[in-house]
Amino acid sequence: MQLYYDILPSPIGDLLILAHEFAIREIVFQTKEQDHMVNSEWIHSSELIEQTKNELKAYFSGQLKEFSVNVNPHGTPFQKQIWKNVITIPHGHVCSYQDVANNTNNPSACRAVGRANSQNPIPIIIPCHRVIGKSGKLTGYAGGLDRKQHLLNLEGINIEDYPEQYKLF
């Protein structure tokens, strides 16, 4: 299956976007020390990649609150169940890992939810940054807590001012 790619400079660093013909497969945070991880067999850009870049730019400029691009993350059935739940968290809202576990009928799976979130291959679009600790505090984020805080601030969420705001469901 053919992969398409492009790199989007963003306020939180360069984003490597990977897609198949009909769905986004990955968004990878690139670090300054790291060369862009581009495979010579990938094709530069596609209509879907351009749509994704445009939607991400609109999101970062505050003009987009809900993504419409198709996503097809690679993961286990449990991970996909968690990501399917996380993608329903509305822009400008947060919930806890426990809330996600409860919403997937796995109330004892709080840590597994955290692990699935940390392996989310399509951050921002599958908004794992909107999942925080039950205490209302920021917890781990594969892209780093500074990026998580930036994304939450972009959506008008200040965790320190509103610690009870994590209750979404």
Distance (Å, whole) CA 7 – CA 49:
9
Distance (Å, whole) CA 120 – CA 73:
8
Which residue among the candidates 24, 69, 125, 128 is catalytic per the annotation?
128
Residue 154: other Cβ atoms inside 10 A: 18
Distance (Å, whole) CA 15 – CA 95:
25
Pull the structure tokens for residue 51.
């749509």
Pull the structure tokens for residue 76.
């286990």
Q: Using CA of residue 144, residue 152, residue 91, residue 60, what is the dihedral sign?
A: negative
Q: Is 95 a catalytic residue?
A: no
Catalytically active residues, by annotation: 128
